[in-house]
Amino acid sequence: MSIVLEGKNVTKTFGSRGNVYEALKGIDFTIEEGEFVGIMGPSGAGKTTLMNILSTIDRPTDGEVWIQGENVALMKDKKLSAFRRNHLGFIFQDYNLLDTLTVKENILLPLTVTKMSKKEMEAKLKDTAMRLGIYELADKYPYEISGGQKQRVAAARAMITNPAVIFADEPTGALDSKAASSLLEKLSQLNQEDRATIIMVTHDPLASSYCSRVLFIKDGQIYTELFKGEQTRQAFFKRIMNIQGALGGEGYDRI
């Protein structure tokens, strides 16, 4: 397998002089093509800061972030913007859909800046939306569909450019358990069938149990990691719960 993303001594500090807070303390790790990686940790552990840096929303104070062989931490803003558009996909907790556009138009938005023909765009839309179970919603507006459907539209928008990495920031945070499970099943399916590389920050061990690996962050450092391997999702869920309990995280009993 090839390495898609690599963090080397990723450090992030806030403040200056005598009032410096070190949010990330020299984190090192690699993510290979086709992995579905969860990032967990207590509030204030640094997981959101890490996600922001890996997804190029923020820059590290020190260290390197390599995505597809390029050190994005050193990229100038214009080049970074183009790289983000061409190689990365994003799913946010609050969907980030445009209310004035239909479901179809929201999904196709990332392709409007490419040279792809209308016929090719329509084909990609149908394939992606069908697999996420939202093709029949194409002509509806975001206010006409449920939260779970909105999040699947956001996932389709993230997937349609075939990005090197999809970043999901608490994607199930605003969903009920049924909608959350449906979304996670779809993401897991895309990961397994398309070898889509997904990095997901979540506080929920249920969500993390769909991942192939989970990184636990504590006090700005990697505390430990779990690999799912051949075990069942239920067994993986219990192991995640045990680590989360040791870290003082919230408890969940749904699986």
Q: 191-210: per-residue pLDDT in tens?
A: 998 889 999 999 999 999 99
Mean pLDDT value across residues 180-190: 91
Is residue 254 very low, low, confident or very high in pLDDT (cuts 50, 70, 90)? very low
Nearest by Cα to 12 from 244, 239, 219, 240: 219
Give φ, ψ of 34 to 5 degrees.
Answer: 90, 0
Cβ of 163: how many Cβ atoms within 10 Å? 20
Q: Hey, what long-range contacts does 247-250 have (CB within 8 A, 24 or more apart)?
A: 247/41, 247/42, 247/45, 247/216, 247/218, 247/223, 248/42, 249/40, 249/41, 249/42, 249/203, 250/203
Give the pLDDT confidence score for residue 115 in this predicted structure. Answer: 84
Give the pLDDT confidence score for residue 93 in this predicted structure. Answer: 84
7, two tokens: 């963090």
Give the pLDDT confidence score for residue 43 in this predicted structure. Answer: 86
230 alpha carbon, distance to own chain's centre: 23
202, two tokens: 């979540």
Return mean pLDDT, the chain: 92
Give φ, ψ of 207 to 5 degrees.
Answer: -60, -45
pLDDT above 90 for 249: no
pLDDT above 70 for 251: no
Give the pLDDT confidence score for residue 253 in this predicted structure. Answer: 39
**Domains in the chain and their CATH numbers?**
34-45+76-248 (3.40.50.300)
Give the pLDDT confidence score for residue 19 in this predicted structure. Answer: 87
Nearest by Cα to 151 from 124, 126, 178: 178
Element (H, E) at 184: helix 177-194
148, two tokens: 């779970």
Cα–Cα distance measured from residue 157 to residue 134, given in angstroms and rounded to the nearest whole number:
12
Q: 38 with 191: CB under 8 angstroms?
A: no
- The secondary structure of 9-76 as a DSSP string is EEEEEEEETTEEEEEEEEEEEEEETT-EEEEE-STTSSHHHHHHHHTTSS--SEEEEEETTEEGGG--
Nearest by Cα to 24 from 5, 3, 41, 4: 41
154, two tokens: 């956001």
Give the pLDDT confidence score for residue 72 in this predicted structure. Answer: 95
Give φ, ψ of 234 to 5 degrees.
Answer: -65, -45
